[in-house]
Amino acid sequence: MSKELIRLRDLTMEFDGERILDRINLYINDHEFLTLLGPSGCGKTTTLRIIGGFLNPTEGTVIFDGKCINELPPYERQINTVFQRYALFPHLNVFDNIAFGLKVAKLPKEEIAQRVNHMLEVVSLKGYGHRNIGSLSGGQQQRVAIARALVNQPKVLLLDEPLGALDLRLRKDMQIELKRIQQAMGITFIYVTHDQEEALSMSDTVVVMDKGRIQQIGKPEDIYNEPKNAFVADFIGESNILDGVMLEDYKVRFFGRTFQCVDKGFAPNESVDVVIRPEDIDIVEPENGHLVGTVTSVTFKGLNYDIIVEFKGFKWLIQTTDYQPEGATIGIRLNPEDIHIMHKSEYSGMFGDYSSYSAEYDELTADAADEEE
């Protein structure tokens, strides 16, 4: 990775006395694909709008290329944005939408035409220039919005949930497309989403946010494998989170048993959160298991089954390819690398219990989040 391009220093934002952003500190490198990930209301869009210049932070500074740009209006920043619902200009056709920024900059006509046509090719919309915006599909509008921003050759492109309005299939295609465009153009992308899968598959760096604070910054793999607290563990993928006690380095006790683990550096007998990913759990015969429990529900998910297993009154989610009927008694084994230990945090006890699990739960919350935006 190359040099630092943007740095946010102690960024704080308040609306009507309510703190939306709480001392955000973050740097973004040139050519990086960075994602702000979090549930709705976590402050990710606010952060993006401050970088874009549409909001002035209550406190803190935005440094761009070594200079503070707090006072710079949006039209003077070398930053362009792809808005949530695209915000294409309905009175202009595709070509004029894309050419808008270049025309405002009063570039010569030939250059405008050449650059717009090139952009149309980049976003695979060659020959669509004369079309009206209303006649385009959602995915096509999306690509016009990207072209309109990129044609100005900004140093940074801000994308505010750009795929939120597309259906699943199109979303997957566009994820690949966006990554390709980012690599081809060599532009820094700052991407906002609440979809953890999107964040993990596209980003160089993921910033997990909640309640106006950064919870964790890291590479997608690190975020997934080494979540810093219960919130991150739960928000990124599925997690069973249990109360445990770190006896000493590499030894953790929960459910009345002591397990080997790979974590160290905790105080002796520190009470901790133990994360066990549902896909890491091996199902074995009851007599060979570390723990024995009863299957209470089974849901077919295509790639695997989601089964809920009750251990001593606690319900765990286990993802397995082996079908287990409801009511079956099964044993499980936990390898040391399957167990991840976290310090206790304000989120402890709030996540990772599947007692009220339902297969539709995730989709429902995702929809609700969409509607809020």
Partner 1 sequence: MKKMNQWLTVLIFVFLYIPMAVLIVASFNTGKDITQFEGFTFSQYAELFRDEDLLNLLGNSVLIALLSTAISVAFGTLAAVGIHSMKAKMRNVVMNLTNIPMTNPDIVTGVSLSLLFVFVGSGLLGQRESLNFGTLLIAHVTFGLPYVILNVMPKLQQMNPALTDAAMDLGCTPVQAFFKVIIHEIMPGIVAGGIMAFTMSLDDFVISYFVTGSDFVTLPVEIYTYTKKPIHPKVYAMFTLLFALIFILVLAMNLMQIRGEKKRKSDKVDSKGVMIARRVVAAILAVAIAVGCGFLIFGNRREKITLNVKNWGMNMADGTDDTLDLIAAFEEKYPDIDVKMSYYESNEALFSQLSNGGITVDVIIPSDYMIDRMIKENMLLELNYDNIPNFSKVDEQFRNPAFDPENKYTVPYTWGTVGILYNSKYVSEEDVTGWELLWNEKYAGKILMIDNSRDAFGIAQYLLGYDVNTTDKAELQACADKLSQQRPLVQQYVMDQIYSIMENEEAYIAPYYAGDCMIMMENNPDLKFYLPQEQGFNLFTDAMCIPTCCKEKDAAEKFINFLCEPEIAGANMDYICYATPIGEAKEHMEEYLAESEIIYPEEEVLESGTAYAYLSEEISRYVENLYQEATKISASGSQEEESEGSGAVVVALAVMAVAAVLLMMPKKKKPIK
Total residues contacting partner 1 by CB under 8 A comes to: 31
Residue 132 tokens, joined? 């009206």
Residue 188 in contact with partner 1, rule: CB under 8 A: no
8 within 8 A of 62, measured Cβ to Cβ: yes
Binding track over 302-321 against partner 1, x by CB under 8 A: --------------------
221 within 8 A of 338, measured Cβ to Cβ: no
Listed ranges 33-41, 87-95, 281-289, 303-311: which one lies at the site for partner 1 (CB under 8 A): 87-95
* Cβ nearer to partner 1, comparing 73 with 327: 73
Please, which residues have CB within 8 angstroms of residue 314's CB and are 6 or more apart in sequence? 242, 255, 353, 355
- Phi and psi at residue 82, in whole multiples of 5°? -105, 115
Q: In what order do the strands lie in the sheet with 4-15?
A: 18-29, 4-15, 59-64, 67-68
Residues 116-135 that bind partner 1 (CB under 8 A): 130-135
Residue 91 in contact with partner 1, rule: CB under 8 A: yes
* Cβ nearer to partner 1, comparing 91 with 169: 91
276 within 8 A of 339, measured Cβ to Cβ: yes
Phi-psi region of 256 (alpha: psi -120 to 50; beta: other; left: phi over 0): left
Distances (CA, A) of 371 to 38, 91, 164, 210, 364: 15, 26, 10, 18, 11
* Cβ nearer to partner 1, comparing 134 with 186: 134
The binder of partner 1 chosen from 75, 256, 312, 321 (CB under 8 A): 75
**Count of Cβ atoms closer than 10 Å to residue 68 Cβ:** 12
Residue 74 in contact with partner 1, rule: CB under 8 A: yes
Residues 54-73 that bind partner 1 (CB under 8 A): 54, 73
CB of 138 to partner 1, least distance (A): 14
Listed ranges 23-31, 49-57, 169-177, 356-364: which one lies at the site for partner 1 (CB under 8 A): 49-57
60 within 8 A of 248, measured Cβ to Cβ: no
Radius of gyration for the chain, computed over Cα atoms and rounded to the nearest angstrom: 24
Burial readout 73-101 (b: 16 or more C-beta within 10 A, e: otherwise) = eeeebebbbbbbebebeeeebbbbbbbbb
* Distance, CA of 129 to CA of 285 (rounded, Å): 64
Listed ranges 146-154, 176-184, 191-199, 239-247: which one lies at the site for partner 1 (CB under 8 A): 146-154
Alpha helices in 218-298 (DSSP H): 220-225, 230-235
Listed ranges 97-105, 162-170, 221-229, 297-305: which one lies at the site for partner 1 (CB under 8 A): 97-105
Residue 149 in contact with partner 1, rule: CB under 8 A: yes
Binding track over 192-231 against partner 1, x by CB under 8 A: ----------------------------------------
Residue 142 in contact with partner 1, rule: CB under 8 A: no
* Cβ nearer to partner 1, comparing 17 with 75: 75
Residue 100 in contact with partner 1, rule: CB under 8 A: yes
Residue 137 in contact with partner 1, rule: CB under 8 A: no
The binder of partner 1 chosen from 17, 66, 90, 302 (CB under 8 A): 90
The binder of partner 1 chosen from 67, 68, 105, 349 (CB under 8 A): 105
CB of 161 to partner 1, least distance (A): 12
Residue 17 in contact with partner 1, rule: CB under 8 A: no
CB of 199 to partner 1, least distance (A): 22
Looking at the DSSP assignment, which residues form a beta bridge with residue 9? 61
- Smallest Cα–Cα separation from 13: which of 213, 199, 268? 213
CB of 77 to partner 1, least distance (A): 8
99 within 8 A of 88, measured Cβ to Cβ: no
The binder of partner 1 chosen from 101, 139, 278, 352 (CB under 8 A): 101
Residues that bind partner 1 (CB under 8 A): 52-54, 73-75, 79-81, 83-85, 87-91, 93, 100-101, 104-105, 130-135, 148-149, 152
